Structure 1
Amino acid sequence: MLMPGRSRGDFRRWRAGRPFWGGLLLALGGVEILLTLKASLDVILHVGMQGLAGYLLPAVMLLCGLLILFNPAQRLFYSVIGVLVSLSSWLTSNLGGFFVGLLLGVAGSCLTFGWLPDQEPRVSRRQRRKEARSAKATSPAPQA
């Protein structure tokens, strides 16, 4: 039987070991650009370089986002490729998915590039308060 609390904890541990939000934003940027390429002709502002490059660059963005999630050891390479492809999608893919996909891709690539795997996890405010209360309760009261 699958326990909901355990699977959530497993997902948190998996997510903590990789640049999750950066990879997710980069992949979402690629998906958004691919969806705007399928928009009706009334919506499309800029067709781009006719065909293949318009579909290839968002597909590479999506692939880089997924590779960041599932192969975080090569995150620097994927993030550099992701930011270059995101910026070049402005020319080839309907103004970078009306700037939304372009901005998602650049933000995700920058988050991935700046992620440090050996950094200590942040302690939540609730945990810090709890530790402060327990330290205050265990410390002896000063005598005058």
Structure 2
Amino acid sequence: MIGPETIGPDLDTALLLCAAALATAKGLGALVSVAVVDGGGNLVAFVRMDAAEIAGPTLAVDKAYTAVAHRVATDVLGALAAPGGPLQGLASAAGGRYICFGGGKPLWADGRVVGGVGVSGGTVEQDVACATAAADRWPYAAPADSAS
């Protein structure tokens, strides 16, 4: 949980979020990788399902990082970064680390982003569903005006 000694999810909470994403993936028949990061984008927990795609681990971590860095879900960011959008070209910034398609969600507490979850390996819709399941297990609510 959140406390004065932490800036985001602790390991136990991060593993609960991973478990929620995995349960959803199993229900959808998807093979995914799941990452949970703290408010600085540092990895707290990571899991990869057997036979999940090889690009999934990197993408899951980067989706979580992107959600923290931009304080928005990566599918929302994707619309902003599309050709003609106000953030066009964002995907090529930061050495290509910013992921601008679904599967990353910020984690909020006390009106600030304190972590993120990223899921990769299924379809975009499956990744979003799994990331949403994980974020829904987070015990704090996002502000009403956030695009989480």
User: Would you call these one fold, judging by a TM-score over 0.5?
Assistant: no
Q: Which has the higher strand share?
A: 2
Q: Which has the higher helix share?
A: 1
Max Rg structure: 1
Q: TM-score, normalised by structure 1?
A: 0.31
